[in-house]
Structure 1
Amino acid sequence: MYQEERLIAILDYLKQHHRITTEQICSLLHISRDTARRDLVKLEEQQVIIRTRGGAILPSVHQKIKDYSGRLKTVSEEKSKIGRLAASLIHDGDRVILDASTTVQACSEHLHVSDCIVITNSINQAELLSDKEGIEIHLLGGKLQKEHRFLYGASVIEKLASYHVDKALIGVVGISEHGLTIAHEEDGMVKRKMIQQAKQVIALADHSKLGTTDFYQYAQLSEIDLLVTDRVPEQGFCDLLERNGVELLVTEQD
């Protein structure tokens, strides 16, 4: 096997498992430790890995979060399917909290219930739901995050403490062994309080968020009851959910 072929094989393994040891490279490619080290040096020179003691990991990719209107334009079919399935979990008479994520907004678009109370910190959620009959909206007041159109701060968290609801639907930027994470701390603090006020916590995440860790952790995996996603995760991630008592719900595949 040529070096270029080995480098591709190492990167493919890292994309799936996130880290690799020198011993694993030797076993996987049937090469010596010296050859494995040379391959890692080459990949490091290409700036596609970070070498660690005994192996390598992929570098963190910190993508700039688009503003809310930009994210709405890129709401995928996967998110729409997740939203439709999540909406089916909300019933007449439910009291629910909806956060400001675009995936949760996809749920609002498919929501058709009566005698339902919705509490949200999202201007867009409130506007969308205001056109639907049978839904009473409580918009949490606070400081406006202009780019992402959500309200946050001490007044939002204080007001949330007064509500006790059946369900909270929470979007995530990352969900992994490090729990639920997001880029913005102020948004994460509000989500944390939303989770604390609900009998059932439902996380919504498309497949690209699974196994990903972002900047700020706002909940442990064990704090959510149900994960709704669009693809069956790899076995290791399913095992992680099971250990933390999280039920998995996957949209129907075409």
Structure 2
Amino acid sequence: MLVAERQRKIVELVNEKLSIRVSELSKIFSVTEETIRRDLEKLEKENLLMRSHGGAVSLEKDQSETSYLEREITNASEKKAIALEAISLIEPGDQIVLDASTTAWYMAKELPDMPLTVLTNSIKVAIELSRKEQIRVISTGGTLLSQSLSYVGPLAERSLSMYHVNKAFLSCKGVHLDKGLSDFNELQALLKKQMMEISDETVLMVDSSKFGTRSFSQIAPLASIDAVITDSYLDDQLRRQLDEKNITVKIAAKS
């Protein structure tokens, strides 16, 4: 395959999957990871994609909210593993807040039916938890975003301000060591920031492709979180840097 053709197909794959790893591209095209990194560097300079630690992310849909169906299938196995690891941090009697991420939805699906209070702005999370008799579910209400099936806006923010929780479980679009957490939607970013403010402890749930990237709206500095749950593709240097910032790193093992 010619270099130009490989690079064109890389862009197509990145836009289709929204994010992809160097190791995966290396296997697909039967070339070394170093070759793929050079391809990604060139394509980033041409503004065709954005490199991240260990891979690349799409620029095509960065300015609009991705539909829930698309997010459900993007890095699904990593998200499910991360969700299971997050559940291990929850104890009976806890009061928690879950955002509208697909990882939070996977948490809701797998949560055992135990005494728990869950505050959420996600319709899908609320519906999933409604099947569990011992779990008390509080929905924020607010303005509905149809793509993510979540509530945002002043009403959702006022609703959150009435509560205090033990733990917040959140995801986001970008994680940058210097610039912190960010999201594509300003209203979602504001709500996630408030979720962190009403919680004693914040756990960030992101696959490794999110590291090194920045999105449109700032959420909070990296120092605002207490722990990160991610996958085994996290760069060793990044892990050391997170340790230096006193952020607990948990690696979710895929089943």
Q: TM-score, normalised by structure 2?
A: 0.76
Partner of 2:102: 102
| AA in 2 matched with 1:139 | S
Are 1:62 and 2:59 counterparts?
yes
Q: How does 1:123-162 map to 2 (within 5 A)?
A: 123-162=123-162
| AA in 2 matched with 1:214 | S
Q: Is the 8 A contact 1:221 1:241 kept in 2?
A: no
Deviation at 1:236, TM superposition (A): 2.7
Partner of 2:37: 12
Q: Is the 8 A contact 1:171 1:204 kept in 2?
A: yes
How far, CA to CA, are the matches of 2:73 and 2:235 in structure 1?
29
How far, CA to CA, are the matches of 2:196 and 2:75 in structure 1?
24
Higher RCO (CA < 8 A, seq sep 6+): 2
Q: Is the 8 A contact 1:75 1:102 kept in 2?
A: no
Q: Is the 8 A contact 1:122 1:139 kept in 2?
A: yes
How far, CA to CA, are the matches of 1:9 and 1:252 in structure 2?
26
| Deviating more after overlay: 184-193 vs 104-113 | 104-113
How far, CA to CA, are the matches of 1:187 and 1:215 in structure 2?
11
1:203-246 residue CA offsets vs partner (Å, 9 max, x unmatched): 00012112221111101100000000111522331233123221
Deviation at 1:14, TM superposition (A): 8.7
Are 1:173 and 2:173 counterparts?
yes
How far, CA to CA, are the matches of 1:63 and 1:203 in structure 2?
25
Partner of 2:92: 92
Shift of the 75–138 alpha-carbon distance from structure 1 to 2, 3 Å rule, reads farther
Are 1:164 and 2:178 counterparts?
no
Q: How does 1:1-254 map to 2 (within 5 A)?
A: 12=37, 48-49=44-45, 61-64=58-61, 65-74=65-74, 76-177=76-177, 178-231=179-232, 233-252=234-253
Deviation at 1:116, TM superposition (A): 0.4
Deviation at 1:173, TM superposition (A): 1.2
How far, CA to CA, are the matches of 1:106 and 1:207 in structure 2?
17
Could you tell me which runs of 5 or more consecutive residues in structure 1 were left unpaired when the two chains were aligned.
19-42, 52-56
SS of the residue aligned with 1:90? Answer: coil
Count the aligned residue pairs.
215
| Deviating more after overlay: 182-191 vs 153-162 | 153-162
| AA in 1 matched with 2:232 | R
How far, CA to CA, are the matches of 1:124 and 1:156 in structure 2?
16
1:12-33 residue CA offsets vs partner (Å, 9 max, x unmatched): 2696xx7xxxxxxxxxxxxxxx
Q: Is the 8 A contact 1:123 1:149 kept in 2?
A: yes
Larger Rg: 1
Q: Is the 8 A contact 2:57 2:209 kept in 1?
A: no
Deviation at 1:110, TM superposition (A): 1.3
| Deviating more after overlay: 163-172 vs 107-116 | 107-116
